[in-house]
A and B are shown apart, each in its own frame.
Chain A
Amino acid sequence: MAKLNLNRVDMPRQEPEVRGKNYDEVALGYSLEQAQEEATRCIQCPKFPCKAGCPVQVDIPEFILALRDGNLPEAAKILKGKNALPGICGRVCPQETQCEVVCVLAKRGGQVAIGRLERYVADWEKANMGASVVTPVAGKPGGKKVAVIGSGPAGLTAAADLVKYGHSVTLFEALHVAGGVLMYGIPEFRLPKDIVQGEVDYVASLGVDIKLNSVVGKLVTIDELLEDGYEAVFLGTGAGLPMFMGIPGENLNGIYSANEFLTRINLMKAYRFPEYDTPVRVGKNVAVIGGGNVAMDSARCALRLGAEKVYIVYRRSDAELPARREEVENAQEEGIIFKFLTNPKQFIGDEKNNVVAMECFEMELGEPDESGRRRPIVKEGSEFTMEVDVVIIALGTTPNPLIAQTTAGLETTRKGTVVADETAGKTVKDRVWAGGDIVTGAATVISAMGAGKRAAADINEFLSKQ
């Protein structure tokens, strides 16, 4: 047996000083040689723990083997067999806590870069094969009508699987493009929109009917869909309602929810204003409140818009940051300033209602709380003021109540999430399933995809007995 190779092949990236001024993708992806070199490091172990680590059970060793052998069409086919959105997953999945962490080489620090390989194969397919791998599969005999609400990661995955099972699937999307958070939330430099559109187009090419500009709960209710011939409904409407802090001055001009800031930039292309009509305020001193991936995305967007100083203001310390380490490092390299153990007390405005400063508390960490992280405690008398002209609040989101409010018989929690069976996503309402952030609260793209996949299987099983 060949000697184990523990040297992960680095993926080229744009240099920090260059990328901080453009919206092009930061990570440039492997070349074929790099991808094959990395693929060769996979020892094709007999137990393939990576597969179990993947929420959608991608056949990881198999596609890596095909890639290693230079059979790229086969690698793409294997990958797409389980995952309709590989270009997206290869970029934004936290592989370090899923497939890669359980790689047998991980114990020795040399886990295979599965995410990078997935990205390589997906990009190769997009560049070389277009949609030619696909044959529409909708409308098999015995297929039923299914409605999928929301075209984010959960909905796209559920729709793709349901149509592959042979059902007729209509995917309802409230916004003017499909993709949900992949389109409005995650910035171009981390997840290019043509990659998302390509994978949305792939799902459409399978035969899924995507209806844009359709706000379910307003245009049509779940009960009307069920009366109108849909035999099952999957709710994948995510967690789209931004949380604010409820502190004084929060409605000053220049204070954004991360959702608004990112939607203006990513969905509405405000970074190209005035070529595009939607503006966004460009700050000199920008504070982003929060420490998750959305906070990192917001900070890095603000930097690219031309802000002089961008702060991440986080009430705990570096060790507790919920963002992916890779994204924290990217942000640090680009010059984002981290202010740990800091929490806003109030925002201060000028006579025109513009935010000009933020009064903060210093914090210290106490005993661990129910999340297992050390609880941040205010240091009394520690107030200090920061000059800021744009503030972005990235403290998380909760489900939009629109569907729960307009659907009788759906059970929700105190946090506004929909109650559904953990594995299959069945809600307490007849013929209605739910999955993704609407059930879990804000989580990851891949966990939503896993929920969509499991719900699709359960819906199929239910429908086949009808």
Chain B
Amino acid sequence: MYKILLRQDLVPNTHLFKIEAPEVARKARPGQFIVIRIDEKGERIPLTVAGWDEKEGSVTVVCQEVGTTTRRLAKLGTGDSIIDFVGPLGIPTHIEKLGTVVCVAGGFAVAVVTPIARALKEAGNRVISILGARNRELIFWEEELRSASDELIVTTDDGSYGRKALVTEPLKELLEGDEDVKRVIAIGPSIMMKFCAKTTEPFGVNTVVSLNPIMVDGTGMCGCCRVSVGGLTKFVCVDGPDFDGHQVDWDLLFARQKTYLDEEKESLEKWQGQAHS
């Protein structure tokens, strides 16, 4: 069993879990993910790491309530345990000194972008981050990302906080401006990553995205997470999760993410029925 050392509510439906996993904490790197299972009847889901503390022996993940597993996880609190915690999986985000790098964080992905931005800054890059959310209520870790970056731009879709814009607007302006942007790292909802990649494509700026398909084992065994990148089939769990956003077949990713829509609905209804009875 893996103990939840800390559960923290960040914004509505989004929670932080610090989980005791000393061996994983020693090895985790920015951009990698872990796979959890809540209990005996639970499914395995991947979550990208938001932090790790080797001394404390803990790994931090942030999850948004979407389906049955994330909602069940949200019912757990500090001191509770989950049955399985596996990692670190996937290839860490490639960190090197390039010059100026733009990090785009959409919604709760700020939790996974922050350690990446910090590592890039520590490697000597000038890091400009863009933090975007639907509205003010959904913004968290603004200060964490600001301190991990040289500059931070905040946007909301409705203008309730920061600039009223989608993340692609300041991104495009940065690419048009004087900054010599060497790489863009865009992580968030798949649709946001797609449009970030579309935005950077005309500028020919290398754009790294972190894909989040459905997974089962997370170790290369099943091929559930296959995506098409540059015309080649790749397994996100072992070949990624980071890929060149200009090469990703986004429509295929979106379609495959919807494979179990009906089952997800059925599972959620069953669980909600139980939870309320």
**A contact residues vs B (CB 8 Å cutoff):** 174-176, 184, 212-215, 218-220, 240-242, 244, 246, 250-251, 253-254, 256-257, 259-260, 263-264, 268-269, 273-279, 281, 352-353, 400-402
Chain B hits for A244, CB < 8 A: 223, 226, 233
Do A277 and B216 have beta carbons less than 8 Å apart? no
Do B42 and A277 have beta carbons less than 8 Å apart? yes
CA distance A352 to B44 in the complex (A): 25
Chain A hits for B233, CB < 8 A: 244, 246, 250-251
| Chain A residue nearest to B221 in the complex (CB) | A240
With contacts A174-B86, A242-B221, A274-B270 taken as known, whether A260 is within 8 angstroms of B216 at the C-beta atoms is yes
Do B224 and A260 have beta carbons less than 8 Å apart? yes
With contacts A352-B258, A353-B255 taken as known, whether A260 is within 8 angstroms of B43 at the C-beta atoms is no
Chain A hits for B238, CB < 8 A: 400-402
Do B23 and A253 have beta carbons less than 8 Å apart? no
Do B219 and A174 have beta carbons less than 8 Å apart? yes
Chain A hits for B68, CB < 8 A: 277
Binding site secondary structure of chain A: loop
Do B222 and A260 have beta carbons less than 8 Å apart? yes
CA distance A256 to B83 in the complex (A): 27
CA distance A277 to B263 in the complex (A): 9
Chain B hits for A264, CB < 8 A: 216
CA distance A263 to B223 in the complex (A): 11
Which residue in B88, B89, B222 is a CB contact (below 8 Å) of A259?
B222
With contacts A277-B267, A281-B259 taken as known, whether A402 is within 8 angstroms of B220 at the C-beta atoms is yes
Most buried by B among A215, A254, A263, A281: A215
Chain A hits for B150, CB < 8 A: none
Chain B hits for A215, CB < 8 A: 86-87, 89, 219
CA distance A250 to B227 in the complex (A): 11
Return 18 A-B CB contacts under 8 Å, by A number. A176-B37, A218-B27, A219-B27, A219-B87, A219-B88, A220-B27, A240-B220, A242-B222, A242-B223, A246-B233, A253-B256, A256-B224, A257-B223, A259-B223, A260-B216, A268-B216, A274-B270, A279-B264
Interface residues of B in 1-52 (CB under 8 A from A): 23-24, 27, 37, 41-44
B217 CB within 8 Å of chain A: yes
Chain B hits for A254, CB < 8 A: 259
CA distance A353 to B258 in the complex (A): 9
Do B221 and A218 have beta carbons less than 8 Å apart? no
Do B256 and A353 have beta carbons less than 8 Å apart? yes
Chain B hits for A218, CB < 8 A: 27, 87-89
Which residue in A174, A240, A278, A401 is a CB contact (below 8 Å) of B43?
A278
CA distance A242 to B27 in the complex (A): 27
Do B85 and A275 have beta carbons less than 8 Å apart? no
Which residue in B24, B84, B222 is a CB contact (below 8 Å) of A257?
B222
CA distance A279 to B223 in the complex (A): 16
Tell me the smallest distance from the CB of B272 to a CB of chain A, in Å: 12
Do B219 and A402 have beta carbons less than 8 Å apart? yes
Q: Give 18 new A-B contacts, CB below 8 A, not counting A213-B85, A219-B27, A263-B222.
A: A176-B83, A176-B86, A184-B221, A214-B23, A215-B87, A219-B88, A240-B221, A244-B226, A251-B256, A253-B258, A254-B259, A274-B266, A277-B43, A277-B267, A279-B264, A352-B255, A352-B258, A400-B238
B155 CB within 8 Å of chain A: no
Which residue in B37, B41, B216, B226 is a CB contact (below 8 Å) of A275?
B41
B252 CB within 8 Å of chain A: yes
B129 CB within 8 Å of chain A: no
Binding site secondary structure of chain B: mixed
B69 CB within 8 Å of chain A: yes
Tell me the smallest distance from the CB of B240 to a CB of chain A, in Å: 14
Most buried by A among B219, B223, B259, B263: B223
CA distance A254 to B258 in the complex (A): 11
Which residue in A212, A214, A219, A260 is a CB contact (below 8 Å) of B223?
A260
Do A253 and B83 have beta carbons less than 8 Å apart? no
With contacts A213-B86, A241-B221 taken as known, whether A279 is within 8 angstroms of B267 at the C-beta atoms is yes
Which residue in A242, A256, A279, A401 is a CB contact (below 8 Å) of B260?
A279
Interface residues of B in 68-99 (CB under 8 A from A): 68-69, 83-89
Do B69 and A277 have beta carbons less than 8 Å apart? yes
B228 CB within 8 Å of chain A: yes
| Chain A residue nearest to B269 in the complex (CB) | A274
Tell me the smallest distance from the CB of B171 to a CB of chain A, in Å: 29
Closest 7 CB pairs of A and B: A353-B255, A279-B263, A260-B222, A277-B43, A278-B43, A257-B223, A213-B86
Tell me the smallest distance from the CB of B45 to a CB of chain A, in Å: 9
Do A253 and B255 have beta carbons less than 8 Å apart? yes
Chain A hits for B260, CB < 8 A: 279, 281
With contacts A275-B41, A278-B43 taken as known, whether A400 is within 8 angstroms of B220 at the C-beta atoms is yes
Tell me the smallest distance from the CB of B165 to a CB of chain A, in Å: 32
CA distance A264 to B223 in the complex (A): 12
With contacts A213-B84, A240-B221, A241-B221 taken as known, whether A273 is within 8 angstroms of B263 at the C-beta atoms is yes
Most buried by B among A213, A242, A244: A213
Chain B hits for A174, CB < 8 A: 86, 217, 219
Tell me the smallest distance from the CB of A396 to a CB of chain B, in Å: 13
Chain B hits for A219, CB < 8 A: 23-24, 27, 87-88
Chain B hits for A212, CB < 8 A: 84
| Chain A residue nearest to B266 in the complex (CB) | A274
Tell me the smallest distance from the CB of A21 to a CB of chain B, in Å: 21
Which residue in B23, B41, B87, B226 is a CB contact (below 8 Å) of A276?
B41
Chain B hits for A259, CB < 8 A: 221-223
Interface residues of B in 165-193 (CB under 8 A from A): none
| Chain B residue nearest to A240 in the complex (CB) | B221
Tell me the smallest distance from the CB of A209 to a CB of chain B, in Å: 14
CA distance A267 to B220 in the complex (A): 15
Tell me the smallest distance from the CB of A397 to a CB of chain B, in Å: 9
Chain B hits for A257, CB < 8 A: 222-223
Do A253 and B44 have beta carbons less than 8 Å apart? no
